[in-house]
Chain A
Amino acid sequence: MLHANKPFSLQLNPEAFLPATDAEKEYISRMRPSSTFFKDGVRRLIKNRVALVSFILIVLITVASIVLPYVWPYKYDQMLGMTPGKPANSSYNNLSPFTYGAKEQERIEAGEKVFPHIFGTDAHGRDYFIRVVYGTRISLAVGFFASIIVLIIGLTIGSIAGYAGGKVDLIIMRIVDIIYSLPDMLVIILLSVVLGQVLHVEGTILEKIGANIISMFIVFGLLYWVSMARLIRGQILSLREQEYVLAAQATGAKGRWVIMKHLLPNCISVVIISTALQIPNAIFTESFLSFLGLGVNAPMPSLGSLASDALNGITSYTYRLVIPAIVICLIVLSLNLFGDGLRDAFDPKLNA
Chain B
Amino acid sequence: MNTKTLFYIFKRVLLAIVTIWIVITITFFVMHAVPGGPFLGEKAISAEAQAALEAKYGLDKPLWEQYITYLTDIVTKFNFGPSLKQRGRQVIDIIMDGMKTSAKLGLIAAVSAAVVGIVLGAVAALRRNTVLDKIIMVITTAFVSMPSFIMGSLLLIIFSVKLGWVPANGASEGGLILPIITLGLYPMAYITRLTRSSMLDVLGQDYIRTARAKGVSGGKIIFGHALKNSLIPVITYFGPMLAFIVTGSMVVEQIFAVPGIGRQFVSSITNRDYMMIMGTTIFLASLIVIMNLITDILYKVVDPRIEFD
Q: Could you tell me which A residues sit within 8 Å of B by CB distance? A: 177-178, 181-187, 189-191, 193-194, 197-198, 280, 284, 287-288, 291-294, 304, 307-308, 310-311, 314-315, 318, 321-322, 325, 328-329, 332-333, 336-337
Contacts and interface: CB of A to CB of B under 8 A. Distances in A.
A198 B153 contact: no
Given A183-B284, A307-B153, A318-B157, A329 B27 contact: no
A-B pairs with the 4 shortest C-beta distances?
A333-B145, A185-B247, A325-B150, A183-B288
Most buried by B among A292, A293, A337: A292
Given A185-B243, A186-B281, A288-B251, A193 B269 contact: yes
Interface stretch (B13-21, B84-92, B230-238): B13-21
B30 A288 contact: no
B20 to A, nearest CB: 9
A307 B285 contact: no
**Chain B contact residues, majority secondary structure:** helix
A189 to B, nearest CB: 7
Interface string B21-50: 011001100110111000000000000000
A139 to B, nearest CB: 11
Interface of B: 15-16, 18-19, 22-23, 26-27, 30-31, 33-35, 141-142, 144-147, 149-150, 153-154, 156-157, 161, 243, 246-247, 250-251, 254-255, 266, 269-270, 272, 277, 281, 284-285, 288-289, 292
A288 B147 contact: yes
22 contacts: A178-B18, A178-B22, A181-B16, A183-B289, A187-B285, A193-B269, A280-B145, A291-B147, A291-B251, A292-B251, A292-B269, A304-B147, A307-B147, A314-B157, A315-B157, A315-B161, A325-B146, A328-B150, A329-B146, A332-B145, A336-B144, A336-B145
Nearest to A280: B145
A304 B142 CA distance: 18
Contacts of A182: 19, 22-23, 285
**Chain A contact residues, majority secondary structure:** helix
Nearest to B286: A183
A193 B33 CA distance: 11
A181 B145 contact: no
A332 to B, nearest CB: 4
Given A287-B147, A308-B149, A181 B15 contact: yes
Contacts of B161: 314-315
A186 B243 CA distance: 9
Contact of A191 (B30, B147, B254, B270): B30
Contacts of A337: 141
A153 B136 CA distance: 38
A340 to B, nearest CB: 10
A21 to B, nearest CB: 52
A194 B157 contact: no
B266 A329 contact: no
Contacts of B149: 287-288, 291, 307-308
B141 A333 contact: yes
B269 A186 contact: no
Given A182-B22, A328-B150, A329-B145, A197 B157 contact: no
Contact of B153 (A293, A294, A311, A333): A311
Contacts of A304: 147
B288 to A, nearest CB: 4
A49 to B, nearest CB: 14
Nearest to B296: A181
A336 B146 CA distance: 12
Most buried by A among B33, B145, B289: B145
A293 B269 CA distance: 9
Contacts of A187: 23, 26, 281, 285
Contact of B157 (A292, A321, A329, A332): A321
A135 to B, nearest CB: 14
A194 B269 contact: no
A122 B254 CA distance: 22
Contacts of B145: 280, 329, 332-333, 336
B269 A177 contact: no
Contacts of A294: 269
A293 B147 CA distance: 15
Given A191-B30, A193-B269, A284-B147, A181 B255 contact: no
B129 to A, nearest CB: 15
A198 B33 CA distance: 7
B128 to A, nearest CB: 18
Contacts of A308: 149
Nearest to A198: B33
B19 A178 contact: yes
B33 A321 contact: no
Given A190-B30, A191-B30, A321 B277 contact: no
B30 A311 contact: no
A336 B138 CA distance: 13
A184 B141 CA distance: 23
A183 B34 contact: no
Nearest to A324: B150
Nearest to B19: A181
